[in-house]
Amino acid sequence: METGGTHIIKRHRRHGIEAFSKDKLQKSVVAACLSAGAHHGQAELVAKHVADAVEEWLEDRPEVTSSDLRLATAKQLKKYHADAAYLYEQHRMTI
C-alpha cells in the first residue's frame, strides 16, 4: 500500500481507515473518464493532473474522510471533464 501521509476515514467508519493512495485515486479517475466517453489517453492525462492537484490539497491535511476526497477529486475533475466529474461525485467511485 502506498503511504501518502494522509489518512482516509472510510464511509461509516466501519470500513476503517486507510492511507491515501495516489495510484488508486488516479485509476478511479481514469475509470470515471472512460465511463464518460473519454479516450484512454485523455483519461490518463486528466487523471494525472487531477491526482497531482488532490495530492497537493492533501499536503497539510493529516486526515480527511472518503467523502472529502471524493468531493475534492470531483472539483478538480470538473475543470477537465464535467461529465466524468458528475459521474465521480454521484456514483461514489471506490477510493
Partner 1 sequence: MTTHTFDYDLIVIGSGAGGSVAATIAAREGLRVAIVEESILGGDSSNWGDVPTKALLHTAHLYDETKRGDRFGLRTTSLGYNYPSIRAWKEKVVKQTGVGDNKKFYEDQGITVFMGKAHFLTPHEITVNRRHLSGHRFLIATGSEWIAPNIQGLSDVTYFTPRTILETIRPPKSLAILGGSRYGVEIADLMAIFGTKVYIIEEKSRLLPEFEKEVGDYMSAVLGARKEITVLTGSRTLSVSKEGASHRVLFTRGGAQKHVKVDAIMIATDYRPNVDIGLNNALVKYSEDGIPTDKYLRTNVKHIYAAGDVLGKRQDTHAALIESRVAAHNIIGAATMVPDYVAMPKVVFSSPEVAQVGLTEQEARRTHSHVRRAVTPLHIVARSNVSGQKDGFIKLVADKQGVIIGGVVVGPHATEIIHEISLAVRYRLTAQQLATTPHVFLSWAEAMRVTAQKIIGANS
Task: Enumerate binding residues for partner 1 (CB under 8 A).
Answer: 7, 9, 60-65, 67-68, 71
Tell the smallest beta-carbon distance from residue 87 to partner 1 (Å): 19
Angle between helices 40-57 and 22-35 (to 10 degrees): 140
Question: Do the Cβ atoms of 29 and 49 come closer than 8 Å?
Answer: no
Tell the smallest beta-carbon distance from residue 88 to partner 1 (Å): 15
**Closer to partner 1 at the Cβ: 49 or 61?**
61
* Residue 5 DSSP symbol: S
**Closer to partner 1 at the Cβ: 36 or 64?**
64
Question: Do the Cβ atoms of 6 and 62 come closer than 8 Å?
Answer: yes
Tell the smallest beta-carbon distance from residue 82 to partner 1 (Å): 18
